[in-house]
Amino acid sequence: MRRSRGALAPYLMILPAGLWLAIFFAVPLITMLSLSLQEGNLIDGFRQTLHWQNYTEGLATYGDKFVRSLWYGLLATGLCIAVAYPVAYWIAFHAGDRKGLYLFLLLVPFFVSFVLRTVSWKFVLADNGIVLGTLKGWGLLPDGFHVLQTWYAVVFGLAYNFLPFMVLPIYVALERVDHRLVEAAQDLYAGRVQAFFRVVLPLSLPGVFAGVIMTFVPISADYVNAAILGGPDNTMIGNVIQTEYFNNSNYPTASALSFTLMAILLVGIFLYARVLGTRDVLEAAGR
């Protein structure tokens, strides 16, 4: 009897989490999958017809939006890495006893709504706003210069909003690096640059790997930044899905587009893991 209870104990411990995932993840996902294969409208109702054309027609109609979303995601993720790595490196190796303070300051913007933070950038980057208006008044920029409703406004907005998701995993990986390894490399006549590329960078790759996944996936599916900072030529697939769901009430097409995006992201993450080599990354972290 005790053995049977002991064998059931691990399953009983994960039961609450399993029920939570089943109710709030698996059931909605299955429901949306079923809806993506239906036909109909909001007035007459929707019926299950296994209408696979929702996927093919959605991909054919909005293929350019998928490409643009992935491209913006790659650019914003690369920008996040370029900014986040030096910040995480400095906090991990040079912040001393104030690491907690700097990490708190990094997370302070998260106390403000995601939408409000994006809208604030719209006011800052307005043609006659605080930044551009001042520079135009000083004659440093032409009067016709503008940033809003451009692709780089959307990319910079995405990078700004998701930057902490890149900094924190990289910081955690760098914090685990034994400083004695760097000192040993320097004792073996390695310069600072060589010690960084031979010791610090390989050991921090798990953090970079996690940061890329945590930023690229939500960035590619985002629609707030493109709607607020971009224009008609900067529409991402998230904007299309939002419009189909809430404005057109075209639930089957919106569900099909959502599953198509999810499939593309899963394939992209799988290929990313295969190319980078998660086993090599973990082995580098364990050395």
Helix runs in 95-113, H state only: 99-107
DSSP state at residue 143: T
- Residue type for position 180: R
Which pairing describes strands 45-48 and 38-41: parallel, antiparallel, or unpaired? antiparallel
Instruction: Look at residues 142, 259, 159 and name the one whose alpha carbon lies nearest to residue 216.
Output: 159
Question: In which residue are the tokens 């997370």 written?
Answer: 107
SS3 1: coil
The gap from C-alpha 141 to its chain's centroid, in whole angstroms, comes to 33
Rounded average pLDDT over 228-245? 92
Secondary element (H or E) of residue 46 = strand 45-48
Instruction: Please count the residues of the chain.
Output: 287
Distance in angstroms (rounded) separating the CA atoms of residues 287 and 178? 10
pLDDT in tens, 6-30: 677 777 888 888 899 888 888 989 9
The gap from C-alpha 42 to its chain's centroid, in whole angstroms, comes to 33
Structural domains of the chain, with CATH: 1-50 (no CATH), 62-286 (1.10.3720.10)
pLDDT in tens, 80-136: 999 999 999 999 998 888 998 999 998 888 888 888 999 988 888 888 888 888 888
Residue pair 264/223 in contact (Cβ under 8 Å)? The answer is no
Percent of the chain residues topping a pLDDT of 70:
94
SS3 203: helix
pTM: 0.87
Least confident of 58-62, 215-219, 266-270, 281-285: 281-285
DSSP string of 170-211, one letter each residue: HHHHHHTS-HHHHHHHHHTT--HHHHIIIIIHHHHHHHHHHH
